[in-house]
Amino acid sequence: IPDPGQPQSQNSMKGEYLNKAKIADGGKKLRKNWTSTWVVLEDNQLLFYKESKQEALSNLKPGCKPEKVDLCGAIVEWTTEKSSRKHVFQITTSCGQEFLLQVDDYPTICKWHDAIKNTADILSKT
Ligand code: I3P
């Protein structure tokens, strides 16, 4: 049941720096490498930019595109086992990519977890 109090724009979030580690691609495990990444949720897609100014440049330069994560069919869940860091959640995409996202500030990471999970849940139902 759609909540009438929730605007349609809930599936977009302005950019923010989060710590990101890609730990698997196509089901294959990768060496963990945490990097600070400018994360944007736009039109139900998750976009990873190296830095905030890349977001502005990506509209002008074709070579400047972000890494795009398709959230349809993705699983979003908190994890305490995949990292020694606090406040980590994992995104597992339908094509077998696994990402960890983390920041020390709990309200910030909760906001991103909830928005991404919501988006994935809504996309899976449509
Ligand atoms: C990894 C690095 C990561 C750490 C990871 C280490 O070592 O220290 O920060 O993850 O732990 O293997 P290296 O740089 O030599 O690859 P966390 O910070 O998330 O704990 P892991 O192997 O338990 O994933």
Give the H or E element holding residue 49: strand 45-49
* pLDDT value, residue 125: 84
Q: For ligand 1, pick from 29, 32, 33, 98 the residue to mutate: most ligand atoms within 8 Å of CB.
A: 32
* pLDDT value, residue 101: 98
Total length of the chain = 126
Distance (Å, rounded) from C-alpha 28 to C-alpha 111?
29
Structure tokens at 83: 């990292």
* pLDDT value, residue 9: 47
* pLDDT value, residue 3: 52
Ranges of the chain whose pLDDT falls below 70: 1-10
Distance (Å, rounded) from C-alpha 9 to C-alpha 7?
5
Q: Which of 64, 88, 92 is nearest to 78 (CA)?
A: 88
How does strand 13-25 pair with strand 88-92?
Answer: unpaired
CB of 34 shorter than 6 A to ligand 1? yes
* pLDDT value, residue 25: 96
- Do 23 and 29 meet the contact criterion of CB atoms below 8 Å apart? yes
